[in-house]
Amino acid sequence: MYTTNESINRIMKDTIKLEKIAQSGKYARVFEVTTEHGKFETPVFMPVGTTGSIKSLSFRDIDELGARIILANTYHLFLKPGIDIVKEHGGINHFMNYNSTILTDSGGFQIMSLSKNLKIEKDGVWFRSYLNGDRFFISPELSIDYQIGIGSDIIMAFDHPSFISDTFEEAKYKKEHTKDWLMKSFDEFKKKASYQNIFGIVQGGNYEQLRKESLDDIQNMPVNGIAIGGEAIGYDKNQTIQTLDWIKDYIDPNRLHYTMGVGDIDDIFEVVSRGIDMFDCVSPTRIARKGTAIVSFENGGNKTNRFRKDITKSIYLKSFDKIDPWCDCFTCRNYSIGYICHLFRSHELLAYNLLSIHNLRMMTKLMEEIRESIKLNTFEELKAKWMNY
């Protein structure tokens, strides 16, 4: 089982404030989280602004959507515009003109996504820039320095992600590497962080023993939150659920829990029911730019994903309806699905903005409903309604 000693509790409370608001069933819960740049309630979906921008949206749009925490990426901000530029602008919040909480990924994800163009060493990773081919090195210490320089509220320890296809020995090696880098990350964090909070990341591939060992490694450190990472999380729905089932009775309930890369509606209900507080995914805005709308359980979708609808089809041109009757976003209040279909078919840039607004509002509105159901102890009923069982 989890262990949290008094010294760990004291350090965590010095850097982040968590107030438990409600719980529904054994695992689903609501926290109010206070950081340097504001408050948000969990469970929460975090829109992704990789390079300091959520594609096609202004932060007036983001504020109206009700997003009180977003994600940015250290690796990409390091490459462009550069950490020093962000610092000269007064940190990422001033640079982006965003007044709420920001979480940054450490760059560890790129070890997985850019695996063909890097060299991993004991003390860090040699990457090759996708911009000009230059080689550069990121270590746990440098990753923490960069994230502190960016000025995000929640920073991630540098980790070595595992692939779904990893053998036990490969996953064990990456788990041990992640442990070593967590300790180096935290040592640097202790020296230089001020208001920031740090999360460790559980690795171990598709192996229960390794996942539990990695969880123990993190819970023996005074980190503020516990992220569950690796290719299996978010990418493979069944393995995501399996991994959480392995650790849900062992993970410290007094810290924030974060699944990285989870953004489909059915996945969200599954992870929240297993005690997850935070999740992020590029999917809502990425599919919006291709003309796919997120829709509610009442509005139907396609056979492979009933929460999605391709609105670029000509059958929608004559429709006066809004995209989804459940949605209250700016787009649905002001435009018909017929008009947005026309914008996509005419290759108008406004289409990206309007559908991205809709898709992200669907996510934030869903999270509002989930949080309310937990407060009313009706989460399982809401889950059954959306999942249609």
Which tens digits make up the pLDDT trace of 104-155? 999 888 887 777 788 999 999 999 888 888 999 999 999 999 999 999 999 9
Sketch out the chain's domains with CATH numbers: 6-281 (3.20.20.105), 288-365 (no CATH)
pLDDT of residue 7: 47
Nearest-angstrom CA–CA distance, 31 and 33: 6
Question: Is the confidence at residue 10, as pLDDT, over 70?
Answer: no
Which tens digits make up the pLDDT trace of 207-224? 999 999 999 999 999 999
Count how many residues are written for the chain: 389
Which tens digits make up the pLDDT trace of 352-374? 999 999 999 999 999 999 999 99
Confidence of residue 1 (pLDDT cuts 50, 70, 90): very low
Q: Assess contact for 100 and 40: CB atoms under 8 A.
A: yes
Question: Is the confidence at residue 302, as pLDDT, over 70?
Answer: no
Catalytic residues: 105, 280
Residues 6+ apart with CB under 8 A from 384: none
Residue 61's closest CA among 300, 307, 297, 330?
330
Concatenated DSSP letters for 158-213? Answer: ---PPPTT--HHHHHHHHHHHHHHHHHHHHHHHHH-SS-EEEEEE--TT-HHHHHH
pTM: 0.94
